[in-house]
Structure 1
């Protein structure tokens, strides 16, 4: 008998986007199930097509290993009463282990004797245990579920058949009236109902029925056929990985075919053509070897190579209708003017409490202007930035973007050129949506970056002001991604704009415009915390340890690129044993400075030379330190602080800070308070777990 186990779950067609995760779950849960049931096995292989999820487990043992183990019970003094008789505790323990008090023996552990028994657990037969594997199928989760018929089970799609085999033997269990067996179904049109004689015969049996069960093999077959088509026609196919994965999960038996469309459609911007082919029809667009889009497309059929010409013609007909729409939209959108299209924004609600898209655009223009002034943008460029902000949303009213929402910004840039806008303005309209996804490129132009930051700030501040705050996985407005985009854009351009200042600027706009908002202080705190958490996330993603992140963000984000540089420098410093003394000295200052009421210092109240030396050392480095921070010379700034380490240690060795004399105590705490303010300007060094490094 083969020692291979096979389980297959046959369903109605699963959405392609469900399959990867479902297959990962099935393999992980299978491994865990075998581990939990103590069944030794070799390898686990998963299979998935639109109509099935399956898993094959090799070298499965026919029974669980027997277990011999020593069970420990209560202490001897509890197990025996004063007369030496077994107590209820001992009797209960032995019974619980399936033993008798006659099986008890004592064993000393750390000077105390405890009751013990040896017990033997015989392993169960694997075939019996496998009948509970139904729990794995039932534990799979999907983005959306459904009920069918009068069934109670909610599942991705109705279950139609199941296989459960241990070698040739059927493993019996039932889910919603469907019983396991050794019968499966091939390709919906090319295959038929068939029997899997044994678990190891699963793949070859399905291959005979025009089903490639392995996702990897099916994907590789598609790529091979695409590459062959490329070579034969001297094409360059746009093989998008996301599209390739989706197509792989749409078919069971892939056959590649090609089709054509009229060259007249090439006058339409290629982004619209490519989007129509990829997003709407799941076709691979075709380029020439020098990169020009060609009037061809490549699709993947779920079937064999018979009647491919007919298949191609049918797909050409569908695509032609799509492209005719795109052509019509493109021509219609060029009528009128940008200003006419802008007027329509006043009739489009952005958010019920925050007004129309026209209202949002007005805020973006105002924010962009202020940001441009802050970074010292010359007047000509400032006017371009404002113009870009003013028309950044005009393409949302175009028919092309209404049909192909993915092209917002892209079509705005193209239409802006057609309508005669400045090139920098046109580019900025497209760039202001960047980054479009996590870790995507940020705007490269100054104008595009300003409008991008302004737009995202308005969205975040507006949403949080009216109580729309991301929780858990819920972030319908993409606020987290937009906050990361702001921080990444600031970093890319090295702009010294404190994040809190940006937030407060926009927050203030909302009060000046009398827009609905919650309690001002509450919103202020929510906004600052929201960005602080995003800054922490971004730095951790880039490899900065959590404690260092908390240290540099203790007093807020400030200028994010600088704050990030501080974190990187501190990560290096805590690897340096020579810096430990500096950390300890400055840490002692931070601890005691918390007791200070003020930072006033009167040198005439100094009682010893060590006080004066620390005061003089601080006065000597203070201006240079602050200047180094201002000029972003962080290494130099930290070196200036480090000069205080020796006088601080000497000061604490010779001075009682918390003396009974209130004026002297207050004076000493004031000195420490002054030093601590400089330290906090760099980071809260006490938040860093330095000791773990040495």
Structure 2
């Protein structure tokens, strides 16, 4: 069985940059899945893509399926012969196999002996298999939006123009999307538009690079990164390379060339975030900072050609960016003509959610909760209430309407200009933190109070109208809101009771249709998010389950318990104590209320139970202040000392004594032992 490199390339008109990676990866996976299903051996798979092509290269693809032994089972032996002669059933089976009855074999099975037939079936060649595999992979691509072109009935993301299918140096004859496969590809649209005849599939990347095309996505991105950093160094500046922008820009070019342009310094009077958003969103430019971290009046653009006169390309980009930045300056000047607080009235006409009222209603509700939180965390209640009132006012500004990603940021700038307290202004920016996993949390207490109040209002409101998130749908980002609340409470070490906060938030809503049991439902939903938080911390999920088994409603306390139980699980004594707790839990569950209310020392007959009773009482006294101060790690360290008396107790004492009084007393001792660990978690849940 011979192997060669397989190459597929589909030539298209410029694809949407956001779809290129998704389409190329899906194409590679689809072909690999098809080959696996056909049991054709192959090696490594690589996806390549540019705006004008989707390609897949597969190393060491065999030229055919392996031959297979096929076994067929016919009638049972008892039904195959009668009086030593083959029956019609045996004869018919033999004819279907193309042989005589005497050539059939006997197949032994657990259910008896059967007539059978085995034959070697030659594998199909890839010339037969690949056309259907590739066509199926292309048909299953997650194309965002289909289009037709000309008078063709064929549909794809963009018009298709050529198809390459090579196995080594051989063309695989196939037709996909109306195109006949060949060995002909094309280079850069402007630098090398002529046809390129590929001699061998291994020539692909090198041949395209000679024709000004970098088909390797990763290499093209790194080329852009290197060029941007080099241009920044020449300008004596620091380039800010946003990874999402880097991916998008690499999807716009086949032969990247970085060029540095400039804009009028007067635009630097506008907040830098406005200019950066305009440059990134509209022109896909990388911005530059000086050594103080301030925006410089420079940008780096990525051209798709090597121009003989780069200055013309730069000047063209400078002409394009000028009106964009002028628009940003105009929006900024227009917004500043009225104070941010004057826009509070606008919120009454903006619907937050039909059943939950307007943004003005949301601001009113959040203000009460934010003030309460600020009082509990020794913040500034007046500032927190003020920040909640102003939090959504920037949504009606021209700048945020043009660049929605600037919400909160513009509120910060406009509040500062209006002379609002710095803490209030900062809170307007921090209200959306954390935005994603690993993002920073609000640093100011006013920002923390606002960020918590806003999310809690949303959670209670959306659950209260029955719009709970499902496995696939979470349109109000309630999972992210919940995790945001947990992160703020834990990282800022705010020891607040989540039930109390949710109860207050619910009290601010009028006539929620599903108010019954609402606080408990939202509380449980939020605490369930600790499962993902635990996994992100690298802690086994059973540690979460052990803590979740207890009625803990303070997230900071929950996190401390998780870390303590995780540390405890690493002790040598943990395994034995976990097993003992499981045994105790099972015994107590079976006996119900049979145990005594308290331990009677006079009924402790065996030395092992006397020793355990003393050890439990001593540990209770020692751990009481530790539990009171939430020093759970230290408390569990103390409890590890119970391993020896616990093991001895189970080795030497019969819990289920025939004497009811002694039995009830021993059950009380086990309950006392269990209750010590339950101060932290149900460690019986640990593996």
> Shorter-chain TM-score: which interval?
0.7 to 0.9
Deviations 1:160-214 (A, max 9, x none): 4322223443323333433333343444445435243433443454445543322
**What CA distance in whole angstroms lies between the structure 1 residues aligned with 2:224 and 2:177?**
36
Residue 315 of structure 1 corresponds to: 317
Alignment correspondent of 1:34: 35
Offset at residue 625 of structure 1 (A)? 3.3
The within-5 A match list for 1:261-300 is 261-300=263-302
Does 2:584 align with 1:585?
no
Answer with 227-236 or 490-499: which moved more.
Answer: 227-236
What aligned pairs does 1:606-645 form with structure 2 within 5 A after superposition?
A: 607-609=603-605, 618-622=616-620, 624-642=622-640
Residue of structure 1 in register with 2:17 after alignment: 16
* CA deviation string 1:414-440 (max 9, x = no partner): 222221122222222211210122221
* Match among 373, 376, 383 for residue 375 of structure 2: 373
Cα distance between partner residues in 2 of 1:670 and 1:681: 17
Instruction: For residue 518 of structure 1, report the CA deviation from its aligned partner.
Output: 1.0
> Relative to structure 1, is the Cα distance of residues 514 and 100 closer, same or farther in structure 2, using a 3 angstrom cutoff?
farther
Distance in 1 separating the partners of 2:119 and 2:186: 48
Measured after TM superposition, the shift of residue 249 of structure 1 is 0.5
Q: Does 1:497 align with 2:493?
A: no
The answer to whether the 8 Å contact 1:7/1:162 transfers is: yes
Please list every run of 5 or more consecutive structure 2 residues that lacks an aligned counterpart in the other structure. Answer: none
Shift of 1:577: 3.7
**1:550 offset after TM fit, Å?**
1.2
Q: Structure 1 pair 497/332, CA: closer, same or farther in 2 (3 Å)?
A: same
CA distance in 1, matches of 2:14, 2:295: 34
> How far apart are 1:48 and its partner, in Å?
0.6
Separation (CA, whole Å) in 1 of partners of 2:405 and 2:659 = 71
Listed as ranges, the matches of 1:239-638 within 5 Å are: 239-375=241-377, 377=378, 381-507=380-506, 509-510=507-508, 513-521=509-517, 523-594=518-589, 595-597=591-593, 601=597, 607-609=603-605, 618-622=616-620, 624-638=622-636
Structure-2 residue corresponding to 1:122: 122
Q: Deviations over 1:521-570 (max 9, x none)?
A: 2x344313321321111101221112222111123553334333433343
Question: Quick check: 83-92 or 608-617, which moved more?
Answer: 83-92
Query: Which residue of the partner structure matches residue 161 of structure 1?
Result: 162
Change (3 A) 1:664 1:3: closer
- Report SS of the residue matched to 1:682: coil
- Hey, what's the Cα distance between the residues in 2 that align with 1:168 and 1:646? 74
Residue 259 of structure 1 deviates from its aligned partner by 2.3
What is aligned with 1:25?
26
TM-score, L = length of structure 2:
0.87
Could you tell me how far apart the structure 2 residues matched to 1:371 and 1:351 are? 24
Contact (CA 8 Å) 1:500, 1:557: kept in 2 or not? no
CA drift of 1:463 comes to 1.3
| Aligned residues of 2:191 and 2:212 also touching (Cα < 8 A) | yes
Select 1:680's aligned residue among 678, 681, 685.
678
Distance 1:224 1:583 in 2: 55
Cα deviation code 1:389-412 (max 9, x no counterpart): 332222222222222211112222
Q: Return closer, same or farther for 1:238/1:674 CA change in 2, 3 Å cut-off.
A: same
Deviations 1:634-668 (A, max 9, x none): 1332245445556656666545548695x887776
Q: Return the TM-score normalized by structure 1.
A: 0.86
What is the alpha-carbon distance in structure 1 between the residues aligned to residue 634 and residue 60 of structure 2? 64
Q: Please tell me whether the aligned partners of residues 51 and 254 of structure 2 are also in contact (alpha carbons under 8 angstroms).
A: yes
Post-superposition CA distance 1:94-150 (Å, at most 9, x none):
889887765566798999999886642323323222222222222222444456678
Spell out the pairing of 1:193-232 with structure 2 (5 A cutoff): 194-198=195-199, 199-207=201-209, 209-232=211-234
Q: Which moved more, 1:559-568 or 1:244-253?
A: 559-568
Which residue is equivalent to 2:50?
A: 49
Mapped to 2, the partners of 1:224 and 1:643 lie a distance apart of 59
Would the alpha carbon gap of residues 3 and 679 (structure 1) be closer, same or farther in structure 2, given more than 3 Å must change? Answer: closer
Question: How many angstroms does 1:602 deviate by?
Answer: 5.2
Q: 1:290 to 1:541 in 2, by over 3 A?
A: closer
- Higher mean alpha-carbon deviation, 80-89 vs 640-649, is at 80-89
Change (3 A) 1:142 1:607: farther
**In structure 2, C-alpha distance between the alignment counterparts of 1:7 and 1:372, rounded to whole Å:** 62
- Residue deviations 1:575-615 (CA, integer Å, cap 9, x gap): 44433332233222222333534986155697443577766
Asked whether the 8 Å contact 2:568–2:636 carries over to 1, the reply is no
Contact 1:274/1:285 (<8 A) preserved: yes
Q: Which moved more, 1:423-432 or 1:41-50?
A: 41-50
Cα 1:633–1:101 change in 2 (3 A) is: farther
How far residue 491 of structure 1 moved from its aligned partner, in angstroms, is 1.6
Asked if structure 1 preserves the Cα contact closer than 8 Å seen for 2:279 and 2:287, the reply is yes
SS in 1 for 2:61: coil
Superposition map of 1:26-175 within 5 A:
26-67=27-68, 69=69, 102=102, 119-132=119-132, 133-146=134-147, 155-175=156-176
Give 5+ residue unaligned stretches, structure 1.
690-694
Shift of 1:676: 4.0
Equivalent pair of 2:75/2:89 in contact (CA under 8 Å): no
